[in-house]
Amino acid sequence: MQIQSTPIQYLTTINGKKLFIKRDDLNHPSIQGNKFRKLKYTLQLAKEKQHTLISFGGAYSNHIAALAAAGKLFHLPTVGIIRGDELVNQSRWGKTLITAEKNGMKLHFISRRAYREKIQSPEIKNIIQCYQNPLVIPEGGSNELAVKGVSEIIGEITEQSKQPFQRLFAACGTGGTLSGLIDGAKQYQFPTQITGIPVLKGAAFLYEAIRQLSQYHDAINWSLIFDYHFGGYARSTPTLQAFIEKFEKNYNVEIEPIYTGKLCYGVFDLARKSPPTKENWLIYHSGGLQGK
């Protein structure tokens, strides 16, 4: 399975920092961004072994959207276990769930309590048992295969760009993507400082998550900056909205308020506050435009 190579686009220069963006939102029209990278090897495995792919997510989950789209494209059965039993009522569905079902995903709606327990919950165990040869993918798609898929982004960057990037930035949800970038930096000997911008409030759990997921977390210079969550997951403010609108107009790149808007805001703010030395900074555009 080949994922289309995506361009690196120059944005602007702030305080001597040349800001570039790796446009992984362009890697596929429907699976899009980091979620396609994360699913790549799981999809291959499922194809070989005839698995039914089962995963978890909220009503707006980019991972659920990507899994459903991939299921349709590669003719694999997919199942979504969705947080919130009130969603049994279809009039409450947003674009993500409507499209997921259109793409052939079988949806199950469960209480928030059962959802929290994941595969420990008897209700969820029963759902999984109903399917032949199930392969359960964690929430957000973050597993070992996801980290491997994401690490290939660094290989692509080293091939397409001769210039060094002193820093690389990515939005963090579960930390799978940042772990992949860390492992890629080691494997492809890409000398850069990697910074994650968590979009959740109280995201200190990410240090442990990344240590678990990344093989090379000890060998690479990486950090997390917790200042740009704007109140928590899927929260936004007028300041963030205004930044996104201006960004889209100035650079002709779409971003959204949940992940990439916070990421870009954070990087621009850090560039403004940094000492005026010449450097190249790269922002990883992880996609996520399906719910927009």
Ligand X SMILES: *Cc1c(COP(=O)(O)O)cnc(C)c1O
For residue 132, give both structure tokens.
């032949």
Q: Counting contacts by CB under 6 A, is residue 175 touching ligand X? A: yes
Q: Total binding residues for ligand X by CB under 6 A?
A: 19
CA distances from 151 to 21, 27, 35, 292 (A): 17, 15, 13, 27
Residues 59/97, Cβ–Cβ less than 8 Å: yes
Q: How large is the angle between the packed helices 144-160 and 176-187, nearest 10 degrees?
A: 50
105 touches ligand X by CB under 6 A: no
> In the window 220-259, what residues touch ligand X (CB under 6 A)?
259
Least distance (Å) between residue 122 CB and ligand X: 27
Chain residues 129-158 in contact with ligand X, contact rule CB under 6 A: 140, 142
Supply 106's token pair. Answer: 């079988």
CB of 213 to ligand X, least distance (A): 9
Report the alpha-carbon distance of residue 229 to residue 142 in Å, rounded: 20
Q: Indicate the residue among 78 and 91 with the shorter CB distance to ligand X.
A: 78
**30-89: which residues touch ligand X (CB under 6 A)?**
33-35, 62-63
From candidates 57, 58, 176, 261, binder to ligand X by CB under 6 A? 176
Q: Distance from CA of residue 148 to its chain's centroid?
A: 14
Residue 130: which of 110, 106, 114 has the closest Cα? 106
Which of 71, 149, 173, 266 binds ligand X (CB under 6 A)? It is 173
Q: Which residue is nearest to ligand X (CB)?
A: 288
Provide, rounded to whole angstroms, the least separation between the CB of residue 286 and ligand X. Answer: 3
Decide: 28 and 284 in contact? Cβ < 8 Å: no
Nearest residue (CB) to ligand X, 10 versus 205: 205
By CB under 6 A, which span of 48-56, 107-115, 232-240, 280-288 interacts with ligand X? 280-288
Nearer to ligand X, 156 or 256 (CB): 256
Q: Which of 149, 260, 268, 280 binds ligand X (CB under 6 A)?
A: 260
CA angle 288, 241, 250 (to 5 degrees): 80
Residue positions counted in the chain:
292
Residue 174 lies near ligand X (rule: CB under 6 A): yes
Smallest distance, ligand X to C-beta of residue 34, A:
5
Interface pick for ligand X out of 105, 127, 172, 210 (rule CB under 6 A): 172
Q: In the complex, what is the shortest distance from the CB of residue 95 to ligand X, in angstroms, rounded to a whole number?
A: 14
Least distance CB 25 / ligand X (angstroms): 8
Q: Do the Cβ atoms of 163 and 280 come closer than 8 Å? A: yes
Question: Least CB distance from residue 181 to ligand X, whole Å?
Answer: 10
Site map (CB under 6 A) of ligand X, residues 12-31, x = contact: --------------------
> Which residues would be at the binding site for ligand X (CB under 6 A)?
33-35, 62-63, 140, 142, 171-177, 259-260, 286-288
